Copies of this chain bind each other. A is one copy, B any other.
């Protein structure tokens, strides 16, 4: 952790468990009409009336899912929330509440948790979700974060992973691969820093990639855009483990095959430049790099006219019968079977 040596350090024991929870959760505002009571009782109380409720949870472990060597605590807090809201967005639902559990070893002062919580609160505010509960405790080693996100939707809006049909169009929001390359840049800088701590990192030219890694956003805006276009997605998933892996999930659960077109895959110019610099194949990164938190979904062919040319979306392929398999059609018009090499697989390669 890059530390300001003059910073104030208040030991966690100084506040105690209840004091710490009170300290961290002070000034938390409740804004969602579905939140009746938040933190302070044995459980939070919510009221969704006739809406369906969606719920998703994630466990993030220091050294496995994040490295505080290049992940500032505020960014970590922000990202931990976003990752969970992305799962709610992937149901075509609207996130409404989160619970936040944190365990830290005594190497972390209260000020570090404040920073982490600042990021959590910033994300909660930006995405208009209420922090309604959680747990704060000590760990034997490092930092552990567990976030549960809750959302709501009308039944007819919900999008599942298993609804895609033969002939549907495959669509992705934004661009892919940048978060993974951002991680590569940060890892390189960390190694440079370890060799020469006085070396100032030169991160110009990588700003988009690094932001995608350190401060990803959940596409909670997509639901309203699709509604405005009068498009009901036939299936949906978020791109957390890599485009290829997610496509294979959708296809397996929907019982369909897929042709993904290499030339259609949306990538940022900065990704192209950096892949060239690192001598890595762009398409490999775009389809296997994870943590994009974009949405991957399918629509009926009839909806093509509604979506074509929309800057939020790129049609990257179409679904086929299951027997045809899942393939990448390269620029050279070669058909290569898609492989499920997700984010975890990539991480393992480096371990």
Contact = CB atoms under 8 A, between A and B. Distances in A.
Contact of A87 (B42, B146, B149): B42
A90 B99 CA distance: 18
Contacts of A17: 344
A82 interface: no
Contact of A40 (B44, B141, B161): B161
Contact of A93 (B43, B103, B144, B150): B43
Contact of A161 (B42, B47, B63): B42
B91 A42 contact: yes
Contact of A139 (B61, B134, B135, B344): B61
Contacts of A344: 16-17
B161 A99 contact: no
Contact of A140 (B43, B61, B137): B61
Interface of A (DSSP majority class): strand
A91 B148 CA distance: 20
A211 to B, nearest CB: 24
Contacts of A135: 57-59
Contacts of A45: 52-54, 91, 158
Contacts of A141: 140-142
Interface in A43-95: 43-50, 52-59, 61-65, 87-88, 90-91, 93
Nearest to A86: B42
Given A49-B50, A53-B47, A148-B148, A238 B138 contact: no
A133 interface: yes
A206 interface: no
B64 A54 contact: no
Which of A62, A99, A101, A146 has most chain B Cβ within 10 Å?
A146
Contacts of A99: 55-57, 148
A41 interface: yes
Given A41-B160, A87-B42, A140 B54 contact: no
Given A91-B42, A99-B148, A101-B59, A139 B64 contact: yes
A247 interface: no
Shortest Cβ-Cβ A-B pairs, 5 listed: A146-B146, A43-B56, A42-B90, A59-B101, A43-B54
Interface of A: 16-17, 36-37, 40-50, 52-59, 61-65, 87-88, 90-91, 93, 97, 99, 101-103, 132-135, 137-142, 144, 146, 148-151, 155, 158, 160-162, 236-238, 253, 344
